[in-house]
């Protein structure tokens, strides 16, 4: 995928994050996901070994409170039987009864959206309560020296984030923050917008917070000779 996409839906914001069929990316998404939407093709008879392994691992880390499956390319005459079969498959895989299975027909897609927006989200596990940033834009800024600055833009989920905190990037490492800028939300609800505010974010940040001298420091372990 091309990265997270955020849209305003039914008075709120929904961010869609596409993940591939590999464990690390899948688990990264599970740490921030409130809704899990799986996709299957009409020719698939059941979950393959990798699909079963991904769902089993997600169960061990606490599945999102809302789970859906979309089966693509179903013929109208076979749709009802296929959705019933996939409902049984998903029930066995997730050991839950509160999931929904949809086709990719326009009517079912409208039903999928209604189901997601009307679902009540359960409280997230304590280990998922730390701040997470869904990065929608990443830009490398050269500094002319040995250091390289990485500018990350997106929405912060769960707790707020401080410029004095360390930030962990999965599969890469832990880094210090130079500054945090708060920008106008380009998808702010119309009721919250000023009449003269454009939909696009302004060219200047509303607030910039630099890291202080009291910020967390990276600790480097010395290698044994």
138-166: average pLDDT: 80
- Cα(212)–Cα(177) distance, integer angstroms: 10
How far, in Å, CA of 87 to CA of 70, rounded?
A: 11
Is the pLDDT score of 44 beyond 80? Answer: yes
pLDDT of residue 192: 46
Task: Kindly state whether residues 116 and 185 are assigned to the same domain.
Answer: no
Least confident piece of the model among 37-41, 138-142, 184-188: 184-188
Is 196's pLDDT higher than 60?
Answer: no
Residue 45 has pLDDT above 90, yes or no: no
Are residue 10 and residue 117 in the same domain, yes or no?
Answer: yes
Q: Tell me whether strands 207-210 and 179-182 are parallel, antiparallel or unpaired.
A: antiparallel
pLDDT digits (tens, 9 = 90+) for 87-96: 999 999 988 8
Is the pLDDT at 160 greater than 90, yes or no?
no
Residue 216: inside a domain? no
- pLDDT over 70 (residue 19): yes
The model's pTM is 0.63
Domain presence at residue 9: yes
Is residue 35 a part of any domain in this protein? yes
DSSP per-residue string spanning 63-115: --SEEEEEEES--GGGHHHHHHHHHHHHHHHH--S--EEEESSHHHHHHHHHH
Mean pLDDT of 43-52: 90
Query: What pLDDT score does 187 carry?
Result: 63
**What rounded mean pLDDT belongs to the chain?**
78
Q: What's the confidence (pLDDT) of residue 199? A: 33
- Mark out the alpha helices in the chain (DSSP H runs): 23-30, 49-60, 79-94, 106-118
CATH number where 91 lies: 3.40.50.300
Tokens representing residue 223 in the block: 């290698």
Q: Is residue 142 part of a domain?
A: yes
Judgement on whether residues 112 and 58 belong to the same structural domain of the protein: yes
- On whether both 33 and 98 belong to a single domain, the answer is yes
What's the mean pLDDT in 32-57? 89
Rg (CA), the chain: 21
142 and 111 inside one domain: no
Q: Which of 124, 158, 182 is where one domain is finished? A: 124
Considering only CA atoms, which of 178, 188, 185, 176 is closest in space to residue 208?
178
Choosing from 124, 139, 162, the residue where a domain stops is: 124
Q: Are residues 137 and 105 in the same domain?
A: no
Q: What is the mean pLDDT of residues 102-121?
A: 89
End residue of a domain, out of 89, 107, 124? 124
Please state the domain count of the chain: 2
What's the mean pLDDT in 10-15?
A: 72
Percentage helix, strand, coil, to 5, in the chain?
A: 25, 30, 45
Kindly tell me if the per-residue pLDDT of 221 is higher than 70. no
76/108 same-domain check: yes
Q: Which residues contact 193 (CB under 8 A, 6 or more apart)?
A: none
CB atoms within 10 A of CB 110: 11
> How much is the average pLDDT of 12-29?
81
Q: Which domain holds residue 178?
A: 130-210
Q: Are residues 158 and 116 in the same domain?
A: no
Domain assignment of residue 222, yes or no: no
Encode pLDDT of 162-181 as tens digits: 888 888 887 778 888 888 88
Contact (Cβ atoms closer than 8 angstroms) between residue 92 and residue 146: no
Token pair listed for 58: 């997600």
Q: What 3-state class would DSSP assign to 60?
A: helix
pLDDT of 79 strictly over 90: yes
Do both 110 and 158 map to the same domain?
no
């Amino acid at each position: 995928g091309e990265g997270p996409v955020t849209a305003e839906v039914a008075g709120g914001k929904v961010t869609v994050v596409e993940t591939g069929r590999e464990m690390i990316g899948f688990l990264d998404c599970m740490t921030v996901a409130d809704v899990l939407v799986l996709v299957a093709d009409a020719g698939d008879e059941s979950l393959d070994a990798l699909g079963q392994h991904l769902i089993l691992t997600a169960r061990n880390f606490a599945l999102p409170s809302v789970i859906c499956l979309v089966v693509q390319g179903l013929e109208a005459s076979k749709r009802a039987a296929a959705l019933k079969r996939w409902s049984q498959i998903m029930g066995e895989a997730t050991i839950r009864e509160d999931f929904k299975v949809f086709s990719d027909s326009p009517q079912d897609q409208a039903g999928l959206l209604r189901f997601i927006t009307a679902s009540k989200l359960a409280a997230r596990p304590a280990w998922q309560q730390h701040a997470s940033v869904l990065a929608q834009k990443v830009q490398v800024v050269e500094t002319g020296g040995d250091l390289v600055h990485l500018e990350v833009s997106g929405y912060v989920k769960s707790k707020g984030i401080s410029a004095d905190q360390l930030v962990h990037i999965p599969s890469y490492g832990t880094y210090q923050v130079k500054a945090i800028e708060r920008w106008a939300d380009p998808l702010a609800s119309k009721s919250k917008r000023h009449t003269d505010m454009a939909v696009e974010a302004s060219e200047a940040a509303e607030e910039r917070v630099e890291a202080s001298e009291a910020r967390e420091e990276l600790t480097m372990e010395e290698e044994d000779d």
